[in-house]
Amino acid sequence: MSATILTLTPPPADAVDPSVDHGIQAIVAGASTAETCNTELAAGPWDFDRRPGYGPGSSMGDVIPVGSPRQGELPAEYRTAGEDELHARIRAAKQTLGSRVVVLGHFYQREEVVTHADYVGDSFQLANAALEHPDAEAIVFCGVHFMAETADLLSRPEQAVILPNLAAGCSMADMASIDEVEECWEQLADVYGDLEAPDADGRVPVIPVTYMNSSAAIKGFVGRHGGIVCTSSNARTVLEWAFARGRRVLFFPDQHLGRNTAKAMGVPIAQMPMWNPRKPLGGSTPAELADARVILWHGFCSVHRRFTVDQIDKARAEHPGVRVIVHPECPMAVVDAADEAGSTDYIRKAIAAATEPTTFAIGTEINLVQRLAAQYPQHRIFCLDPVVCPCSTMYRIHPGYLAWVLERLVAGEVVNRITVPADVADPARVALERMLAAKP
């Protein structure tokens, strides 16, 4: 099979992309309180976004990073095909390919796509599911870009990892670019001195920790600088690992996961300054950085940031006895007001383990909540956020793209292959292996 990418046309560095609403930049900078959610998205799951060179999801809040790969227009036969035809073509292509292909669907993926997945899980579970199929020639990852990169890191070199729509990125992962992180590291060296030099206790000044939801370039950076990757399931164990080796942690890209985890470990909020890459020293003073235990990158998930304490109060008033579980990517006040906080896997297991009919109010992505509600009809399960707003970037994987990549595979062509270059992949794997070896 040959490896080709449909279209790679990075815009010039100074280009203003007319297909993108840059409102998120104002939101990230704190200059706007606008929402990043497009509620029209869920109303027409079979619609295509007609804007040129861009995928079918909402792009209200999702800036395409300059230089990122761009998805070319899907051939007309897929754009004009109806729902039944697309389902039939996907099924037929999968049947023809048999064990040559594995289709992975993230928990947050839309139902029209997940129905064709061989495995459904979180990003790390899916990367591991791919490992269970070393003979598959292709792994079609119906998630977002960083997840496909992680699958490429963990799969065999001859296996092709395919992202059906190259525009399916993660707005949180995009908030920590490698250039910004390298710049941050240089500024921290100005404050702390030699970042490789251990103190009398054998601890270096700062250990970089990145959430799985980051680019391979960031995972590689972390691997090169003695750091480690974490998931929302093991963040506490990973922070303990880091504190055993460093006096403080630089945590990116999700400020909320970092803050919620460190707070639960007893780290005072005052010792968790934020690093805003647009400000000198991230917006902190040298004294604040000297006193810091966890430096939090100024990133967030557009989906989980929508949850509020008011929603929890309303759920408690309307459903006495409700059990509120939220994801740790939610803001600290929301986690504090909830009964429990945990990863998607934690939420699933908590519901599965409930023996009595229970009312659950869940603070995470709507596709997962709706799937759990259908799977456990003995419970009442609803999303805390009354506005149905899916992960808009993951939503870009329309079934038309899935049909297209599978039929190209049948024809002997690999399109939209995600490959992490060796100079990034090697240290990124080191950071992932440290995570796997970290024990509570």
| CA pair distance 161, 103, nearest whole angstrom | 10
CB 328 to ligand SF4: min, Å: 12
Instruction: Tell which residue, 405, 422, 423, has the closest CA to residue 414.
Output: 405
Looking at 86, 138, 303, 326, which residue binds ligand SF4 (CB under 6 A)?
303
- Judged by beta carbon, residue 4 or residue 39, the one nearer ligand SF4 is 39
Q: Kindly identify the residues of this chain, within the stretch 356-375, that bind ligand SF4 according to CB under 6 A.
A: 365
| CA pair distance 119, 105, nearest whole angstrom | 6
For tokens 């992960």, name the residue: 391
CB 49 to ligand SF4: min, Å: 17
The contact pattern for ligand SF4, residues 316-355, with x = CB under 6 A and - = no contact, is: ----------------------------------------
- Judged by beta carbon, residue 239 or residue 394, the one nearer ligand SF4 is 394
235 touching ligand SF4, by CB under 6 A: no
Q: What is the secondary structure of 294-322 as a DSSP string?
A: EEEESB--TTGGG--HHHHHHHHHHSTTP
| Residues constituting the chain | 440
The contact pattern for ligand SF4, residues 102-121, with x = CB under 6 A and - = no contact, is: ------x-------------
- Give the pairing type, strands 207-211 and 228-230: parallel
CB 266 to ligand SF4: min, Å: 26
Stretch that binds ligand SF4, among 167-175, 217-225, 226-234, 415-423 (CB under 6 A): 167-175
Looking at 302, 343, 344, 367, which residue binds ligand SF4 (CB under 6 A)?
302
Looking at 6, 117, 148, 170, which residue binds ligand SF4 (CB under 6 A)?
170
- Judged by beta carbon, residue 214 or residue 284, the one nearer ligand SF4 is 214
171 touching ligand SF4, by CB under 6 A: yes
- Judged by beta carbon, residue 108 or residue 401, the one nearer ligand SF4 is 108
Strand partners, 361: 324, 382
- Judged by beta carbon, residue 108 or residue 192, the one nearer ligand SF4 is 108
CB 301 to ligand SF4: min, Å: 3
- Judged by beta carbon, residue 86 or residue 301, the one nearer ligand SF4 is 301
373-to-42, 74, 116 alpha-carbon distances in Å: 17, 33, 20
* In contact, 118 and 94? CB cutoff 8 Å: no
Stretch that binds ligand SF4, among 45-53, 151-159, 166-174, 220-228 (CB under 6 A): 166-174
Phi, psi of 173 (to 5 degrees): -60, -35
CB 250 to ligand SF4: min, Å: 19
Looking at 63, 301, 337, 425, which residue binds ligand SF4 (CB under 6 A)?
301
Angle between helices 399-410 and 83-97 (to 10 degrees): 30
Stretch that binds ligand SF4, among 47-55, 283-291, 296-304, 333-341 (CB under 6 A): 296-304
Looking at 255, 393, 427, 428, which residue binds ligand SF4 (CB under 6 A)?
393
CB 404 to ligand SF4: min, Å: 22
| CA pair distance 107, 271, nearest whole angstrom | 34
- Judged by beta carbon, residue 129 or residue 301, the one nearer ligand SF4 is 301
| CA pair distance 234, 237, nearest whole angstrom | 5
| CA pair distance 275, 282, nearest whole angstrom | 4
Strand partners, 201: none
H helix runs in 45-97, sequence order:
76-79, 83-97
> How many Cα atoms sit within 13 Å of 370 on the Cβ side?
15
A 10 A CB-CB count for 32 gives 13
Residue 362, token pair as written in the block: 């869940």
How many residues bind to ligand SF4 according to rule CB under 6 A? 13
- Judged by beta carbon, residue 49 or residue 288, the one nearer ligand SF4 is 49
Phi, psi of 249 (to 5 degrees): -125, 140
- The footprint of ligand SF4 (CB under 6 A) covers 108, 144, 170-172, 213, 301-303, 365, 391, 393-394
